[in-house]
Chains A and B, each alone.
Chain A
Amino acid sequence: MSELNTLTIAEARDKLRGGEISSVELTEACLKATDEASALNAVVHSTAEIARAQAEAADARIKAGDAPSLCGIPLGIKDLFCTKGVESQAASGILEGFKPEYESTVTTQLFEAGAVMTGKLNMDEFAMGSSNETSVYGDAVNPWRLGDTKLTPGGSSGGSASAVAADLCLGATGTDTGGSIRQPAAFAGITGIKPTYGRVSRWGIIAFASSLDQAGPMTKSVRDAAIMLEAMCGHDPKDSTSADLAVPDFEAMLTGDIKGKVIGIPKEYHMEGMPEDIENLWAEGRAMLQDAGAELRDITLPHTKYALPAYYVVAPAEASSNLARYDGVRYGHRAKLAQGDGITEMYEKTRAEGFGDEVKRRVMVGTYVLSAGFYDAYYNRARRVRALIKKDFEDVFNAGVDAILTPATPSAAFPLGTKFDDPVQMYLNDVFTVTVNLAGLPGIAVPAGLDSDGLPLGLQLIGKPWEEGELLNVAQALESRAGFVAKPEKWW
């Protein structure tokens, strides 16, 4: 039998329930793989002790016949989630040493479902980035390489993507504000779903842009995503934007039957200068869904090109408000003060030292677009454009489209240290994913092939609000036809 840490969640669940393996064995395999993978810098705080205790408890539950789907399954948790008594820093220096006194709703639900936490995972600082290079912990590294060149695992959930692709855990939590689950999933050859805004509680997740942030699972298969998503979803009175809707059995909705489903192909997603490999992959994806019995339909989402500019007003504006809380008073870092420094100097020095460059840049851009005289010109205009972007999708769904197929990213994973001339170049990574956040829709990235360099590429499916079950079903139809089984060769 191959190494236990290479199992999917569904496989491990069945073996655990059948008594073939124990959670303790499975957890030890993941902890060992993690120890050997320091070169990936995916796990930034090991929680081996907690994991071992949780694994023993899970084995006892399974023996007692109480084994929910995630019982005994080792998962990695993005550093953005507050975990009680465990460092939760959002990969920022300003939260150095912060150990929450409480547990986020998502991790609480995962633990109630029996999950085992093997460690906290690397990410871009405050989830602001597309390459995991803004982290205070240093870059996370993609297990996929280009010759000897180290590649980014994407961002912001880069540690999650790297950890799952390298089999350090069976699944991981991610969060997605503009593409931070789907882009890294595509770069690392794994599956990642961002559910409908409001599906998953944001309580205890360190906030970036509250009207866009949504957590979701990053896994090795669509079935695993269905299993893990179900455990993460549900109404939470502590998050006023959390939807009071029943959570369906997503796994049971994976029937494989998508006959007659209408799949929209948006013409605006044909980008100038897009690599041929990605155009080809998209064409192959269309053929696969057609082969599965779906009907393809050309559609138009006319405001697509304005999504990124709208995002780069709305997201920094919300970030500047959310990050105002880091003042050196209640938690985290406080700068050493000089003789005579008052409270303003304390704020200014603390924030200058604690935040990295990209976070400072976005906080200040947000401050500017919200400042007197510019609020209407920037912020309100962006919110109006956002309403139009959402309407584009509504029109298409109202016309009978069930899901939309697009590329997940405009390129494969790029080398770490790629210097972009200006910050906007990095922002273009999210060109296909950011529309989905602005409209609050569910979106999933599915690995669908390799490019000419042998690097994984993903396709994105976008679904109707609250229809994650149907979306996962279409995704599985795509997954089974793509037959993506490639794994990175172990070099770390």
Chain B
Amino acid sequence: MSIDNDTARRVAKLARIKVEEADLPALAGEFNAILGFVEQLNEVDVDGVEPMTSVTPMRLKRREDVVTDGDQQPQVLANAPDAREGFFAVPKVVE
């Protein structure tokens, strides 16, 4: 499997990271190095092996479905790059 510039461009788009056209060949090369390295996994016989989801065979804890936190609008917004009138502000999303 070899990654070309088109694939690199598509992955960058999916990851929402702007990559200049001129940088795509180098990026594709790095992907190929890393993916080439992980190709070794194809040597392993994984028939009948379940994909691991959790390292400890432990049932996740559950709790009552009740509100435990809240009423902290100023704290929630304190680190926002742009907060106005109690909201996060972003560029126009809907035309």
Question: What are the residues of chain B within 8 A of A381 when measuring CB–CB?
Answer: 41-42, 44, 46
Least Cβ distance of B11 to chain A in Å? Answer: 5
Q: Check: A337 CB closer than 8 A to any chain B CB.
A: yes
Q: Complex formed: what's the CA distance from A54 to B80 in Å?
A: 29
Least Cβ distance of B94 to chain A in Å? Answer: 10
CB <8 Å contact, A368 and B49: no
Within 8 A of A (CB), among B74-94: 75-76, 78-82, 88, 90-93
Q: Complex formed: what's the CA distance from A273 to B34 in Å?
A: 21
Report whether over half of chain A's contact residues are helix, strand or loop; otherwise say mixed. Answer: helix
Within 8 A of A (CB), among B24-60: 27, 30-31, 33-35, 37-44, 46, 49-56, 58, 60
Q: Check: B66 CB closer than 8 A to any chain A CB.
A: no
CB <8 Å contact, A360 and B17: yes
Chain A, residue nearest B29 (CB): A422
Given A211-B54, A312-B38, A424-B33: A364 and B15 interface contact (C-beta under 8 Å): yes
CB <8 Å contact, B44 and A371: no
**Stretch in A165-173, A184-192, A324-332 touching the partner:** A324-332
Which one of B39, B60, B79 contacts A99 once the chains associate, using CB atoms below 8 Å?
B79
**Stretch in A13-21, A131-139, A218-226, A384-392 touching the partner:** A384-392
Q: Complex formed: what's the CA distance from A329 to B87 in Å?
A: 10
CB <8 Å contact, A382 and B41: yes
Residue-wise, chain A 27-55 has the 8 Å CB interface mask toward B (1 for contact) of 00000000000000000000000000000
Question: What are the residues of chain A within 8 A of B31 when measuring CB–CB?
Answer: 364-365, 368
Least Cβ distance of B87 to chain A in Å? Answer: 11
Q: Complex formed: what's the CA distance from A99 to B38 in Å?
A: 38
CB <8 Å contact, A237 and B63: yes
Which one of A243, A367, A378, A465 contacts B14 once the chains associate, using CB atoms below 8 Å?
A367
**Stretch in A65-73, A112-120, A255-263, A302-310 touching the partner:** A302-310
Q: Check: A267 CB closer than 8 A to any chain B CB.
A: no
Q: Which residues of B contact A (CB under 8 A)?
A: 3, 7-8, 11-12, 14-19, 27, 30-31, 33-35, 37-44, 46, 49-56, 58, 60-61, 63, 72, 75-76, 78-82, 88, 90-93
6 A-B interface contacts by CB (under 8 A): A101-B78, A306-B40, A331-B80, A371-B11, A382-B41, A384-B44
Question: Lowest 7 CB-CB distances: which A-B pairs, in order?
Answer: A440-B55, A383-B51, A331-B79, A334-B81, A384-B46, A348-B18, A352-B18
